[in-house]
């Protein structure tokens, strides 16, 4: 008896839910849009996407304040935003009182690539190739030298799919650097030498840092930090022209 009662209550609850949803769906046809609110995540300080850009896209799709919500193709607008090269995620929705909302999360570049073939693009935090913007330039480290990967043909996949690509090493290094406020501020340029050694150009100090590969990258930067604190702090930042971290358990320096 108790089981039958429980089942009956569940049936009534589900039926009531469908009635309410049906009522809400029907009422949406009578709701007019009272405005568009755009929320863009600027927490990383990037401005690839601006509020006016989003509003212009809505206007181009026929959006007008005061029109019925049911006449606005919200799913299509959301798809268009998510297909934008600067947007990581877009969520477009309307509230029951007629307010239209667009929440935008931007893609976050971590390094800018200058390839040998003349292509110029970013790698973002997910390791995906990202085109430049004519409206905004991100302040991130640059990578150049013997890099041959073009943008076209690779822009729809991540670096993990580019077998043997130096872009993976650059991505891993840039991702490591951005985790530290000190190294993010200190390392200005990543250079790929002809033998594929990674060399770094710092902002402070007239020297080149030879990293070699990204293998044991944390250990190498720990050694470099100790050398900065106990070595260069005494001799001066311009004492050496090269600081080589390639070799295990040692730092090889070349005096100027």
Judge whether 19 lies within some domain: no
State which residues form the domain around 57: 35-106
Q: Are strands 99-106 and 252-255 parallel, antiparallel or unpaired?
A: unpaired
| Number of domains into which the chain is organized | 2
Decide if 26 contacts 41 (C-beta within 8 A). Answer: no
46 and 146 assigned to the same domain? no
pLDDT at 239 (0 to 100): 81
Q: What is the pTM of this model?
A: 0.82
168 and 114 assigned to the same domain? yes
The encoded tokens of residue 50 equal 């601006």
145 and 169 assigned to the same domain? yes
**Would you write out the chain's pLDDT as a tens digit for each of its 256 residues?**
556 545 555 555 565 444 444 434 444 467 999 999 999 999 989 999 999 999 999 999 989 999 999 999 999 999 999 999 999 999 999 999 999 999 999 999 999 999 999 999 999 999 999 999 998 999 999 999 999 999 987 777 778 777 678 999 999 999 999 999 999 999 999 999 999 999 999 998 889 999 999 999 999 999 999 988 888 877 777 788 999 999 887 889 888 7
pLDDT at 9 (0 to 100): 54
170 and 94 assigned to the same domain? no
Domain boundary among 85, 106, 127: 106
Judge whether 157 lies within some domain: yes
Judge whether 6 lies within some domain: no
Judge whether 23 lies within some domain: no
pLDDT at 24 (0 to 100): 43
82 and 129 assigned to the same domain? no
41 and 127 assigned to the same domain? no
Domain boundary among 106, 122, 142: 106
Which of 33, 36, 35, 38 minimizes the C-alpha distance to 104? 38
Residue 204's domain is classified under what CATH number? Answer: 3.40.50.11690
93 and 116 assigned to the same domain? no
Q: Are strands 35-41 and 198-202 parallel, antiparallel or unpaired?
A: unpaired
Residue 93's domain is classified under what CATH number? Answer: 3.10.20.310
Judge whether 234 lies within some domain: yes
Judge whether 29 lies within some domain: no
79 and 180 assigned to the same domain? no
Judge whether 217 lies within some domain: yes
Decide if 172 contacts 221 (C-beta within 8 A). Answer: no
Inter-CA distances, 60 with 31, 37, 69, 204, Å: 21, 16, 16, 48
How far apart CA 190 and CA 171 sit, in angstroms, is: 11
146 and 194 assigned to the same domain? yes
132 and 238 assigned to the same domain? yes
How far apart CA 147 and CA 174 sit, in angstroms, is: 15
How far apart CA 202 and CA 193 sit, in angstroms, is: 16
66 and 186 assigned to the same domain? no
Domain boundary among 106, 123, 145: 106
Judge whether 20 lies within some domain: no
113 and 227 assigned to the same domain? yes
pLDDT at 232 (0 to 100): 80
**Which phi and psi (to 5°) does residue 119 adopt?**
-75, 145
């Amino acid at each position: 008896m108790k089981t039958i009662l429980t089942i009956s209550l569940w049936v009534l609850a589900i039926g009531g839910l469908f009635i309410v949803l049906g009522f809400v769906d029907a009422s949406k046809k009578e709701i007019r849009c009272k405005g568009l609110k755009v929320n863009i995540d600027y927490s990383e300080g990037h401005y690839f996407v601006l509020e006016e850009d989003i509003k212009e896209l809505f206007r181009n799709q026929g959006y007008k304040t005061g029109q019925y919500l049911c006449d606005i193709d919200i799913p299509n607008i959301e798809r268009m935003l998510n297909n934008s090269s600067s947007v990581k995620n877009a969520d477009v929705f309307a509230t029951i009182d007629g307010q239209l909302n667009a929440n935008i999360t931007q893609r976050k570049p971590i390094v800018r690539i200058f390839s040998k073939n003349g292509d110029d693009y970013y790698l973002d935090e997910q390791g995906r190739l990202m085109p430049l913007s004519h409206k905004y330039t991100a302040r991130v480290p640059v990578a150049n030298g013997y890099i041959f990967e073009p943008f076209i043909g690779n822009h729809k996949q991540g670096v993990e799919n580019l077998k043997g690509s130096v872009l993976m090493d650059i991505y891993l290094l840039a991702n490591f650097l951005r985790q530290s406020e000190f190294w993010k501020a200190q390392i200005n340029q990543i250079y790929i030498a002809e033998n594929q050694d990674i060399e770094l150009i710092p902002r402070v100090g007239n020297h080149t840092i030879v990293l070699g590969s990204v293998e044991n990258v944390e250990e190498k930067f720990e050694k470099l930090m100790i050398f900065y604190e106990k070595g260069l702090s005494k001799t001066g930042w311009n004492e050496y022209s090269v600081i080589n971290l390639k070799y295990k358990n040692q730092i090889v320096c070349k005096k100027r």
